[in-house]
Chains A and B, each alone.
Chain A
Amino acid sequence: MDSMLEQTKETHQLFVDIDEGRIPKRVPVHTWLDISYVIQYAGMDMRRANWDVENFKNLFDLSAKTFKSDINAVDITRFIPVYNILGAVNFVLGSSGQIQHPEVKGMEADEYEELIADPYKFIHDKLLPRLYKKLDANPAQRAIAFSKAMKAQSDIFGHIIAHQDSLAEKYGLAYERVGCQTVAPFDLIADQFRGFSEMSKDIRRYPDQVVRACEAVLPMLIKAGIKPHSSRQKRTFMPLHMAPYLRLSDFEKFYWPTFKRLIEALWAAGAAPLLFVEQDWTRFLDHLNELPAGTQMMFEYGDPKVIKEKVGKKHIISGLYPLTLLSKGTKQECIDKAKELIDILAPGGNYIFSFDKIALNLNDANPENIIAVNEFVREYGVY
């Protein structure tokens, strides 16, 4: 156990060095696998395993032993017992056992002023009863459903968090890197409030209200992204959704101002962001470079050389390794790609090796290729 604890300190130090602007001993490897991927790898029935909270720790152990990530690879944020208790329409279990997120609309176009007046009250009064059928009930029934669901979510999170830290010390991994989550104001409203399609129309029909709504939800999203344990090593995860679908002028008017203020507020409170930069943000790299130094950006698409040149000196880069190659490529092709990316992104530090997406299904990435690539990076990525 002592040797594993030493190993944990050494592995964790790779990330600390990057967070503090030093070049680590080698490039750290942070693989992200949805728990559904690990369930399938273990040969379990997804329809049962999503409910079997007690079994989650076995999946964490299996992943830690198998995939050669320097940090826990299992990502689990959606709990089917909670969604079931609430009668969720926004997250539902598909016939294959995979959790699906259909496009939903929890807010009508004529409700912007109500949202702006008190976003948290609006969520409880209007949004939640539309997204969760069991909350569309009389006050007593509603209170009972909410209480049951919150207790379930708290118990499941407690179960997972307790296991994560002991997992690190059991297998010599770094400690968990994500401490909480928030989202960009525009993304919050575009996702489960208005839906992506309606939001695309709202910026033409109600531009001033959209701007004011982003301003109104900002304090709530700052609060969500700051926790007592927030730090450069326990980061605030932020998946970024809608910017690539906006014209530059719309991005600068609707998305960027409150997003930037959110990131600055997190940093000012000691909470370091980890952005999952979904889709292609090439048009916005100069904007990203304006954010406070040390922000981690996990890119899905883009030219690695351009990204390194434009934001890699100031920020921590990860992602960009194509998951599709791990699915179809030969072992050697996969390793060659890892070498190509390390040669571009690792010089000077500020780089954590990870894939461009989170693997959801076993078809997304051949497990043998994941292992081969991660082992290669650990050897080749030595500074």
Chain B
Amino acid sequence: MEFKSEYYTSWEDYVHENEIDTENEDVIKANTQSYEEMVFDFTMWLVM
């Protein structure tokens, strides 16, 4: 049961939409996707 939204960019979406240096994908993901997750967590905090 995957969470999807027009306003949420998963890492797979991000890779698809951006030119990602595949050799360094691990560090790019660690320093990019975490901020998407931070926005998600903050959003949920605001409505709970």
**A residues touching B (Cβ–Cβ < 8 Å)?**
86, 106, 118-121, 123-124, 127-128, 131-132, 149-150, 153-154, 180-183, 188, 191-193, 218-220, 222-224, 265
B16 close to chain A: CB less than 8 A: no
Q: Which residue of A lies closest to B6 (CB)?
A: A121
**Set of chain B residues within 8 Å of A131, measured between Cβ atoms:** 46-47
Q: Are A224 and B5 in contact (CB under 8 A)?
A: no
Interchain CA distance A313-B7 in the complex, whole Å: 43
Q: Are B43 and A124 in contact (CB under 8 A)?
A: yes
What are 22 pairs between A and B in contact, CB < 8 Å?
Answer: A86-B46, A118-B6, A120-B3, A120-B5, A120-B6, A120-B7, A120-B40, A123-B47, A127-B47, A128-B43, A131-B47, A154-B38, A154-B42, A182-B44, A191-B48, A192-B47, A219-B3, A223-B40, A224-B40, A224-B41, A224-B44, A224-B48
**Set of chain A residues within 8 Å of B48, measured between Cβ atoms:** 181-183, 188, 191-192, 224
Would you list the 9 A-B pairs with minimal beta carbon distance, nearest first? A120-B5, A219-B3, A223-B3, A224-B44, A150-B42, A219-B1, A121-B7, A121-B6, A118-B5
Q: Are A128 and B3 in contact (CB under 8 A)?
A: no
A121 CB contact (under 8 Å) in B1, B5, B46, B47: B5
Q: Are B38 and A219 in contact (CB under 8 A)?
A: no
Q: Are A123 and B43 in contact (CB under 8 A)?
A: yes
Q: Are A220 and B1 in contact (CB under 8 A)?
A: no
Interchain CA distance A214-B48 in the complex, whole Å: 15
Minimum CB–CB distance for B7 against chain A, Å: 5
Q: Are B41 and A128 in contact (CB under 8 A)?
A: no
Which residues of B (1-16) have their CB < 8 Å from a CB of A? 1-8
Known contacts A154-B42, A219-B2, A220-B44; 8 further A-B pairs (Cβ under 8 A)? A121-B5, A123-B47, A127-B47, A180-B41, A181-B48, A192-B48, A224-B41, A265-B1
**Set of chain A residues within 8 Å of B40, measured between Cβ atoms:** 120, 223-224
Q: Which residue of B lies closest to A153 (CB)?
A: B42
Interchain CA distance A175-B44 in the complex, whole Å: 25
Most buried by B among A121, A124, A182, A188: A124
Minimum CB–CB distance for A30 against chain B, Å: 21
Most buried by A among B6, B45, B47: B47
Q: Are A120 and B8 in contact (CB under 8 A)?
A: yes
Minimum CB–CB distance for B22 against chain A, Å: 23
Q: Are B43 and A120 in contact (CB under 8 A)?
A: yes
**Set of chain A residues within 8 Å of B3, measured between Cβ atoms:** 120, 219-220, 222-223
Interchain CA distance A324-B6 in the complex, whole Å: 48
**Set of chain B residues within 8 Å of A223, measured between Cβ atoms:** 3, 40
Minimum CB–CB distance for A35 against chain B, Å: 16
**Set of chain B residues within 8 Å of A180, measured between Cβ atoms:** 41
**Set of chain A residues within 8 Å of B2, measured between Cβ atoms:** 219
Minimum CB–CB distance for B20 against chain A, Å: 21
Interchain CA distance A224-B43 in the complex, whole Å: 10
Q: Are B47 and A188 in contact (CB under 8 A)?
A: yes
B39 close to chain A: CB less than 8 A: yes
Q: Are A150 and B5 in contact (CB under 8 A)?
A: no
With known contacts A120-B8, A150-B38, A154-B38, A132–B1 Cβ distance under 8 A: no
Minimum CB–CB distance for B45 against chain A, Å: 7
**Set of chain B residues within 8 Å of A153, measured between Cβ atoms:** 42, 45
